[in-house]
Amino acid sequence: MKLINILLISSLLCVMTGCSKISNHHSQQNQGHDVAWFKQHQKILMQTLTQCSNNPAKYRNHSECINAQQAANDIVAGDPVPLPADMAHPKE
């Protein structure tokens, strides 16, 4: 009887520990990365774009996919060059 109680308590503790690790990992993933971060971490950018493109119905509105796509667009187009002040607001 004592052995069963010890095994039951040990199993319960193991399950609780595993669940807390999964929950912590999931919350870290939901923090998301911004466009600038993806530009600096291009390997992860490519992995994210691959994941997003493999299941667009699931990830279409996911912030990670939107930010990764914007970072990729910025990289391909090059960084925008600001217009000179006199061209930004031409005089009439």
Q: Is the pTM of this model over 0.85?
A: no
pLDDT for res 42: 93
pLDDT for res 26: 41
pLDDT for res 79: 66
pLDDT for res 77: 86
Q: Residues 6 or more apart from 80 whose CB is under 8 A from it?
A: 74
- The alpha helices in the chain, defined as continuous H runs, are 2-29, 35-40, 42-54, 56-59, 63-77, 85-88
What is the Cα gyration radius of the chain? 24
Tens digits of pLDDT across the chain (92 residues): 565 655 556 555 555 555 444 334 444 455 689 999 999 999 999 999 999 999 999 998 999 999 999 999 998 888 666 666 665 565 55
Q: The tokens of 5 are what?
A: 């109680």
What interhelical angle do 42-54 and 63-77 show, nearest 10?
A: 120
For residue 90, CA distances in Å to 16, 84, 87 come to 65, 10, 5
Nearest Cα to Cα of residue 69 among 85, 92, 89, 50: 50
